[in-house]
Structure formats: C-alpha cells, structure tokens
C-alpha cells in the first residue's frame, strides 16, 4: 500500500487551523466598548466601575506600560440565537504564544462581583447556556497593560522594567470585543482531533496504532463539509470515537495531572501586579472547578492566598468554598516559593512556620507536600525542615534545567544534612506549565527513569510564571487520555493522592544524599547585592529583636511585639521569593525591595532599642555602659544572649611598621600581616601555629574583574568560560595607615574601590571593609584568597550546618559546581590547621586548587543588563575577614561575629542570658516567645560541627515544664529537666526546638 501519511497529517493541520477551529464561534456581533484609563497605580474596584467611559473601537491603541484601563462592553443577544450557547470573546490584543507575560484582565459584573480572568489562552466569558435571546450583556474589565519584557528576542536590555523610564506609549491594540455563538460540538471535534493528532505524531510509523488513528482522522476529515463545519461536526466525530475508545495497555504509565498556575510572586512585574494575577487566576480556576467535576487545582504560597483575602475578598470566598470541597488544594506549606540557597536558618524554618500556620488557621488543612517546582537549587537542610514542619513529601521540577548532568532519578528518597529523608518526586514531564499535549505526555513516559520499578508520575498542568492556570482544553485532553491506547493514562487528582500511591508502589526508591544543586542560574547568588544585603541584615535584626524582646518580657515585663514581629517576618519571607532574593526581577521590584528593607530595619532597630533599654535599666548618671551580645557564643567575657559591663581588651596592642619594599606590617601578637606596596596581602602569618596562611608568591584580598556575558539568562547565569579572561586589580591610587587600619584606594574602568584592612586587638582575624562605587556593565568582581592549604574539599555554611564541596573537578558533577552558595563562611583545612573566610553579606563563591594551594574567592558584584539594565550601579559596602587557624567551630563563631556586632547601651547591671547552652558546638538560632501568646519561651538550636554532642540547656528563669516541639511550636514529647537544666543529646546537624514554660518568681 502506498503511504499517504504525510499528506493526511498535513491535511489535518491545515483543516483544523483554517476551518474547524474558527468554526467554534460561527456567528458573532460586535460589542459596544468604552474605556477609562486609571491615573497612576490601580484604583479600587468601585472607583474603576464608576468612572466615565470614552468610546473605543477595535483596532485602537490602548495601555501605557504598567497602566490600568477599565473597559465596559455592552450588547444584546440576538433573538435568533435563542437556545444556543453564547460567550463574550474579549481579545485585548493578546499574543497567544506568550501567556502570562503581557496584558491581562479581570472581568466583573455590574454589581462588582468578579467573573473570571482574561489572558491570551482564556479569552471567553460565558453569557448563557442556553440563551433565551434578547438578554442585555454588560461586563467590565480591569485590564493591566503590563509590557512584554521577555520577547521573541529574549534578554535584550530594556527600560520597561522601571515605571520611571518605561514611557507612556500604548503597548497594545484592541483586537476583538464580540458576542459569539459557541458551538460545543465543533469545540469537542477540535479536542478530538488535537488529542489524536498529537498522539499519532508521537507513535512510531511502524506501529499499527499510528495508522489506525491516521485512518480515523482521514475519515473524520472526509466527513467535514468545510462550508458547513457546524452542521457536519457531529458526523465527523463518529469515526474518531472508536479510536478514542481503544483502551490503554495494562502497563501504561500513569500521570496524575494537578491543575496548577505557577505564579511568580514578583519577576517581570512588581508585587502589586502579582496580587491581581492571583485574583485573575483563582477566579478562573474556581469557575473551571464549577464546570468540571473531575478537575482538581493546587495552589502554593500562603502569601498569595493572603493577598486575595485582603484585596479580593469576593474571589477569596469562592476559593474557601472550593477548598472546603477538597478540589482547590493548598500545597507547599511555605509562605512563598522561596529561594532555598540563601535564606538563613531561621528564615527558611519560618517559611514553613508561617505558611503552614496560615493553611491551618484559614482552612484547617495540614499541608503535607512541599511544592517548589521553580527554585534555583535546593539546600541540603530542607529534608529535616520538611519533616519537622509536619510535611511528608517534596516536589521540584527545576533540576531538569541543569546544563551538564541529567539527574538520575524521578522518584527517590532525599537525605539531608542530618540524615533525615523525605520522599521526593521530580516530574519527568519536565515542565511545571504542562498542557498535557501529546508531545509532553510521550516525553514523560520516555523520560521516566524508574521504569520497571515504578509506573506513575505527576504533571503540574496549567499556564504559569505569569499565571493563568488550567484551561478547559487541558481538562478535555485529560478526559480523552484517561484510558487511551498508545498513551499514558492521565487523570486529575490531588497531589497527596499521587504521593500516597507512589510511596506505596516504590517505597524502596533510591536515595540521593546532600543538596540538589542546580547546574544553572549560579549567578543568582550575586546579582542585586542590595537585595541580598537587605535580606541578611533583616534576618539578623529579627534574631536580635526576638531575643532581646523575649528576654525583656520575661525579666522586665516588656510588651512582646507579637503582631509587629509576625508582620515583619512575613515581609522578609516574601522578599525571599525565588526571583526577588536571587536578583532576577525587574528594576521596579529591587528598588521597592531596597525601600522595604530600610523600613524593616528601622522598625526592628526601634524594637531592639526599646527592649535593651528595658533590660539595661536606663542611665545611672555615671556613664557606665553595658555590652549586649546577641551572638550564640560568648564574646570577650560577655555571655551569649546576655550583657556585661564594658571591659578593656586584654590582647596585645596592634603595631604597624613600614614593610621593606613598600606597604605595612601589622602585628597583634597572634597574627603578623604583610601588606605590600600595591595594597595586597602577601602574608598572614599565624604566630600561634607558626605557619603562613597565604600561598607562596601569591597575594590575598586580590580583587579580580572578569567579563560576564552568559549565553542567556543574564541576571541568572554565569557560564564557566568567564574564567578564561581576568584582570587583576593591582594598581593602587592611595595606600596609607589611618585610624588603626591600612587604607587602600583603587580605580578601574568607571569605578572606584576603597578598602580598610584592620587587625583587631587580641584576635586571629584580618578584617577587610570594602566600599565599591560600581559603574561597570557585564563585569564580575571577585575577591581572591589563595591559601597555603592542600585540601580536596571545603566546608560552606548552609542552614543549620555546613556541607562539603570538592575543590577538584574529577567528575562532571564536581566541575559543574564552579559557583556555589555559602552563608557566613567558607572554611578549608588540612588536619590540624585550617582557615576560614567569613562575610556579612555575600553568598556566591568559587574555589580552585593547584597541588598545594586552595584559592577561595568571594563573589562581590555583577552588572547584567537584563531584566534590570542598571543592575547594582552605585555604591556598595562589603565586610569580610580572613581567619587563620580556624577549625569549623571557629568559622561558625566568626561568621556570627561579623553579622551580629555587639551593642553598647547605657547601664551597669549585667543581664544574664534567658537561656544558655554548655557546649559551643550547639548553636542557638532563636530565642522568642511562643507564637500562640501563651508566654512560653521557644528555643531553637542545632549541632553545628557535624558531630554528636551531649550538652545541657539552662533556663535563666524558673522552669515549670519543657517539651520538644515541631517547627510550629506544637509539642512532640516531654523534655526531662532538673530544675532549670535540660540535658540534650544531638546527632550531627540535628535541629531541636524546645518550648519552655516558666513561673512567676
């Protein structure tokens, strides 16, 4: 038989696109359209509804960048349409290939109640099914003219991301405002042909099934009268019914489709626009749930639920109803889908605390799935946090983006730092915006790595990033794919149902140990330095505010600011979203973040000052001062979490002498530091250990400049080839000894850097204070420290511990980690001696090695041009320090020191810590009053060095009871205590939360 396959497939494509799909709306009439452009920022709904309208014709331009326009459409359903289904078709000027990245709208009835959202793949609003004829139709549309930033030629610098530079020219032209007859039979024919056509394309031409489908399609196309599609659509569906009825093979893979709309809480739009994106999407999804009884929709990010509760209560009422019915499913258990590399220990814990508590209080739901499809890598601390938050499952998709190595599992046990394991799924469909197309479903089957051992996977289904969600077409595909020969079986179901079945089927899944490192988007550890510094400062201020407020509340009757701290934590957690903290959003987002962090700092400083004043007891007139130490380690006689009168240092005085050949030699009896005439550190000699820190013939604190133009994803990526070209910044403009420090000034390009190098009295630490006036573009600035240490691994701090990464590139997995994350320190050591580099605000670093030298470099600044063309321009200040002789415990202590400087407050009476721990290996990360307002003291602590430890926590107040708790402060078991003493045994990196009850003395 001669093959006509290509001809028939080409015929299907043309007939479907040019004749059948247009016949879904066989008749239409234009709607009368009026517009009102809101001045400035969005206005309340009532104001938008009441504003006067100006007539606007289809084809007219509308919508300046970031503007809001209110449309009103009016019309009358023709009498001749009686008995038929009628929809309003409202095209604001959409590009169907870019859902979620352009103009959008929310439709309201005249009474102000929301109907549904409009986006490029969802342009219809049901008017009647059926209509009687003669109905008056009035709809209002709140339309957002968000500019397109990620265009067909992506990553081009644009000023559209800042309203001050975006201009005022309209971005869109009104395309269609019609009332139209909706032909359900033709629409169903479209779905039949799409599903079978897409399945056919994925089957081998050698299989009988492909030819069976081809012949069914051929007969259907023969049955269609192209001049009367509506009249012949039912006849055309008949030959397709048999092909659609053929059941799937018994061994067919099973896909659990979960309705989804991954909505970035900010990215190529500001936070305020996300509020509206969430409202549009949830309005659509609740409407779809009413129409489709088998559909299930899942939504993460408690912050987004909170937004619609506050700003769109009518939509929220629909959400709550659907949640109660069990078909609108809150998932994730976090406040936002945060970055997980950079948030500090407590911040990552609080993501779960505030997220899960919101779902419990609002819906009575204990979320069990941690849902992070799009975050840029996953910390090894997460499994322990997931389980201690009361969750059981973990889902991610982003690892499929890795450039170098294909991750070996799709369903597996993920083991974290402390040995905790969590059952994890990584959908083989390789997208969190699935449409359930034939290509996607076939890819999921072919790609699934657990074949033979497991047979099911999950598919987050719906338009995302900018929102939109699942469409009626996607639900129709799932119905047809429920049991279809040649395809995986597809069914919508709750994520928990999938995980329960997957766990039962594959409980013996393999184990992956350690972080889930994303081999992409590494530059997010450095982009937008001000955002990252705001986060780091906020985290440590929140620690101080809770510590001192709780201490003052127990000791001095201070009013503990529960509401203020709750609000401030949620603000900081929001800004840890995976496109804000990583620095990958538009200029508007980061400018707003900088202002927000300043307000957070001001408010927290006020709380800290008030609490310290209550503890210090005020000024006694003698000028005495107390030193308060918020760090988790004793410092110069001041206990951790307590205060003591100011004492003079006991160390040897620091001397400065000229160095032969230029520069200076600093000496404090513990370290001798040589700074040459270029202002570079050529020697840091550890007098205690009698060994040199800096590699022979090299210089530390060497600023290095690289070109930085990745192949794509400018703010996100740094490609390995950046290292091929480097400029060492060795030219010095000024070099002087001043005010106990060596001052070094350099200029390069259009930028200037000033550094102050200080050797503190009585400390084995060289402090470096760096201020950069940065005006480069597409450059990468690093600070290099070549250490005279031979080691095949480094230790980098992460949440509640540290992890080791290789210094070599033995495997492709090792080589791919050429830029990685650390928090307060990177430490490297040989047996018996090590060195640490600690910092107050940087996250990215790289490490390289030669035979006997390990070079650690801190990543300071970048200058990408997309999506913010002016990223990081201006002045920045970084503080970091080199700590010779540092073991892991020293690195932990010095990391806290540089981030939590002591505070001096007038007063003379010492303040004993509210709680203390006997072993420095155990670090207290939080001391606070219980969130429920009951007055109990909550303490969170962890083992920090990677070893088992037996210790004792002592309460500095009468202790009437103690309990172990989960992260949400719910007791999990009693703690045996003797008076104020609680003995504890911790395994390596174990995290413990205690709830301590106290009595009034």
- Active-site residues, by number, are 374
Q: Are strands 254-259 and 456-461 parallel, antiparallel or unpaired?
A: parallel
Burial of 512 (0-12, 13-18, 19+ CB in 10 A): middle
Q: How far apart are CA 517 and CA 500, in angstroms?
A: 26
Helix (H, G, I), strand (E, B) or coil at 287: helix
Q: How far apart are CA 411 and CA 392, in angstroms?
A: 14
Residue 936 vs residues 106, 406, 553, 713: alpha-carbon distances, Å = 46, 48, 11, 48
Give which of 530, 544, 578 is closest to 346, Cα–Cα: 544
| The token pair that represents 473 in the structure block | 């077409």
CA angle 828, 832, 838 (to 5 degrees): 30
| The token pair that represents 709 in the structure block | 């133009």
Residue 427, φ and ψ in degrees, nearest 5: -55, 130
The answer to whether residues 628 and 905 touch, using CB atoms and an 8 Å cutoff, is yes
Give which of 569, 567, 549 is closest to 558, Cα–Cα: 549
The answer to whether residues 171 and 103 touch, using CB atoms and an 8 Å cutoff, is yes
Give which of 791, 786, 880 is closest to 837, Cα–Cα: 880
Q: Residue 692 gets which letter from DSSP?
A: E
Q: Which contacts qualify for 689-693: CB closer than 8 Å, 24 or more apart? A: 689/833, 689/884, 689/885, 691/788, 691/833, 692/788, 693/787, 693/788, 693/835, 693/882, 693/884
Cross-strand bridge partners of residue 756? 743, 769
Question: First-to-last CA distance in the chain?
Answer: 97
- Count H helices, E strands: the chain? 18, 53
Cross-strand bridge partners of residue 793? 806
Cross-strand bridge partners of residue 767? 758, 881
For 959-995, give the DSSP string.
EEEEEEE-TT--EEEE---BTTEEEEEE-TT-EEEEE
Q: How far apart are CA 64 and CA 170, in angstroms?
A: 4
Give which of 429, 482, 477 is closest to 252, Cα–Cα: 482
The answer to whether residues 296 and 322 touch, using CB atoms and an 8 Å cutoff, is no
Q: Are strands 766-774 and 874-884 parallel, antiparallel or unpaired?
A: antiparallel
Residue 536 CA from chain centroid, whole number: 16
Give which of 106, 186, 115, 183 is closest to 143, Cα–Cα: 106
Q: How far apart are CA 338 and CA 375, in angstroms?
A: 7
Q: How far apart are CA 529 and CA 762, in angstroms?
A: 32
Residue 464 vs residues 89, 208, 316, 816, 874: alpha-carbon distances, Å = 22, 37, 20, 29, 34
Mutual angle of helices 208-223 and 229-245, in 10-degree steps: 160
Share in percent of the chain as helix, strand, coil (round to 5) = 30, 30, 40
Q: Residue 378 gets which letter from DSSP?
A: B
316 contacts: CB under 8 Å, gap ≥ 6: 305, 308, 309
Give which of 307, 385, 396 is closest to 347, Cα–Cα: 385
Q: Do you find a cis peptide bond into 315, omega within 30 degrees of 0?
A: no
């Amino acid at each position: 038989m001669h093959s006509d396959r290509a001809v028939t497939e080409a015929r299907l494509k043309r007939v479907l696109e040019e004749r059948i799909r247009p016949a879904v709306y066989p008749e239409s009439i234009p709607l009368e359209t009026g517009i009102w452009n809101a001045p400035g920022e969005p206005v309340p709904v009532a104001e938008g509804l009441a504003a006067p309208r100006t007539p606007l014709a289809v084809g007219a331009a509308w919508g300046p960048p970031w503007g809001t326009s209110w449309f009103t459409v009016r019309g009358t359903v023709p009498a001749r349409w009686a008995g038929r289904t009628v929809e309003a078709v409202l095209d604001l000027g959409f590009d169907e290939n870019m859902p979620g990245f352009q103009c959008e709208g929310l439709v309201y009835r005249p009474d102000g109640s929301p109907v549904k959202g409009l986006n490029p793949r969802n342009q219809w609003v049901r008017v009647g099914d059926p209509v009687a004829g003669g109905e008056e139709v009035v709809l209002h549309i709140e339309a957002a003219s968000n500019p397109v930033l990620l265009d067909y030629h992506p990553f081009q610098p644009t000023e559209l991301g800042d309203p001050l530079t975006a201009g005022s020219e309209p971005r869109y032209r009104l395309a269609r405002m019609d009332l139209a007859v909706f032909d359900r039979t033709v629409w169903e024919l479209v779905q039949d042909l799409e599903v079978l056509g897409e399945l056919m394309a994925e089957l081998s031409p050698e299989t009988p099934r492909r030819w069976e489908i081809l012949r069914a399609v051929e007969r259907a196309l023969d049955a269609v009268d192209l001049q009367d599609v509506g009249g012949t659509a039912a006849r055309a569906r008949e030959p397709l019914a048999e092909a659609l009825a053929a059941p799937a093979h018994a061994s067919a893979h099973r896909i659990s489709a979960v309705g989804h709309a991954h909505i970035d809480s900010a990215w190529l739009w500001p936070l305020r626009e996300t509020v509206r994106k969430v409202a549009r999407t949830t309005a659509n999804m609740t409407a779809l749930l009413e129409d489709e009884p088998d559909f299930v929709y899942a939504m993460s990010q408690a912050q987004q639920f909170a937004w619609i509760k506050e700003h769109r209560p009518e939509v929220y009422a629909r959400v709550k109803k659907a949640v109660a019915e069990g078909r609108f499913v809150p998932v994730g258990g976090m406040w936002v889908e945060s970055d997980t590399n950079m948030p500090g220990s407590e911040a990552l814990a609080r993501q779960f605390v505030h997220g899960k508590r919101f779902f419990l209080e609002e819906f009575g739901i204990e979320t069990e799935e941690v849902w992070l499809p799009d975050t840029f890598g996953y910390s090894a601390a997460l499994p322990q946090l997931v389980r201690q938050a009361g969750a059981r499952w973990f889902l991610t998709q982003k690892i499929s983006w890795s450039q170098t190595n294909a991750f070996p599992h799709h369903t597996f046990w993920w083991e974290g730092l402390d040995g905790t394991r969590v059952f994890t799924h990584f959908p083989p469909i390789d997208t969190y915006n699935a449409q359930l197309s034939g290509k996607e479903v076939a890819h999921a089957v072919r790609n699934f790595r657990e074949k033979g051992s497991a047979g099911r996977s999950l598919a987050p289904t719906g338009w995302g990033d900018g929102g939109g969600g699942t469409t009626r077409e996607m639900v129709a595909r799932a119905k047809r794919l429920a049991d279809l020969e040649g395809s995986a079986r597809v069914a919508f179901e709750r994520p928990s149902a999938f995980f329960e079945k997957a766990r039962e089927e594959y409980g013996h899944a393999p184990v992956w140990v350690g972080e889930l490192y994303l081999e992409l988007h590494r530059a997010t550890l450095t982009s937008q330095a001000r955002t990252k510094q705001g986060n780091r400062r906020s985290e440590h201020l929140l620690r101080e505010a809770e510590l001192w407020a709780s201490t003052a509340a127990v000791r001095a009757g201070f009013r503990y600011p529960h509401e203020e701290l709750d609000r401030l934590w949620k603000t900081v957690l929001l800004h840890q979203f995976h496109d804000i903290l990583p620095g990958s959003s538009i200029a508007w987002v980061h400018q707003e973040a900088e202002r927000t962090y300043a307000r957070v700092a001001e408010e927290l400083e006020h709380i800290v000052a008030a609490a310290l004043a209550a503890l210090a007891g005020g000024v006694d007139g003698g000028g005495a001062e107390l030193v308060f130490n918020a760090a988790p380690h004793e410092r110069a006689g001041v206990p951790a979490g307590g205060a003591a009168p100011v004492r003079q240092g006991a160390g040897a005085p620091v001397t400065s002498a000229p160095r032969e050949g230029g520069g200076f030699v600093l000496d404090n009896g513990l370290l001798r530091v040589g700074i040459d005439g270029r202002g570079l550190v050529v020697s840091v000699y550890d007098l205690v250990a009698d060994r040199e820190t800096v590699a022979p013939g090299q210089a530390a604190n060497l600023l290095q400049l690289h070109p930085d133009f990745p192949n794509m994803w400018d703010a996100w990526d740094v490609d390995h080839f950046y290292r091929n070209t480097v400029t060492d910044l060795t030219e010095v403009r000024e070099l002087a000894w001043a005010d106990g420090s060596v001052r070094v000034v350099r200029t390069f390009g259009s930028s200037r850097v000033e550094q102050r190098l200080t050797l503190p009295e009585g400390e084995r630490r060289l402090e470096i204070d760096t201020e950069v006036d940065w005006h480069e573009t597409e450059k990468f600035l690093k600070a290099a420290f070549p250490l005279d240490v031979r080691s095949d691994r480094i230790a980098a701090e992460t949440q509640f511990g540290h992890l080791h990464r290789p210094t070599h590139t033995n495997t492709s997995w090792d080589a791919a980690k050429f830029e990685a994350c650390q928090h307060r320190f990177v430490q490297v050591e040989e047996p018996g001696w090590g060195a640490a580099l600690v910092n107050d605000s940087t996250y990215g670093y790289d490490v390289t090695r030669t035979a006997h030298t390990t070079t650690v470099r801190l990543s300071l600044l970048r200058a990408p041009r997309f999506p913010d063309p002016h990223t990081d321009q201006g002045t920045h200040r970084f503080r970091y320090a080199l700590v010779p002789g540092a073991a892991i415990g020293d690195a932990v202590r010095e990391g806290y020191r540089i981030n939590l400087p002591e505070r001096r407050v007038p007063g003379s009476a010492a303040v004993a810590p509210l709680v203390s721990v006997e072993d420095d290996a155990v670090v207290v990360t939080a001391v606070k009053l219980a969130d429920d307002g009951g007055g109990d003291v909550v303490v969170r602590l962890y083992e920090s060095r990677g070893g088992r430890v037996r210790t004792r926590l002592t309460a500095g107040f009468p202790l009437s009871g103690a309990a172990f708790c989960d992260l949400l402060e719910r007791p999990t078991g009693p703690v045996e205590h003797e008076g104020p003493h609680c003995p504890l045994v911790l395994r390596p990196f174990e995290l413990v939360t205690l709830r301590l009850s106290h009595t009034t003395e």
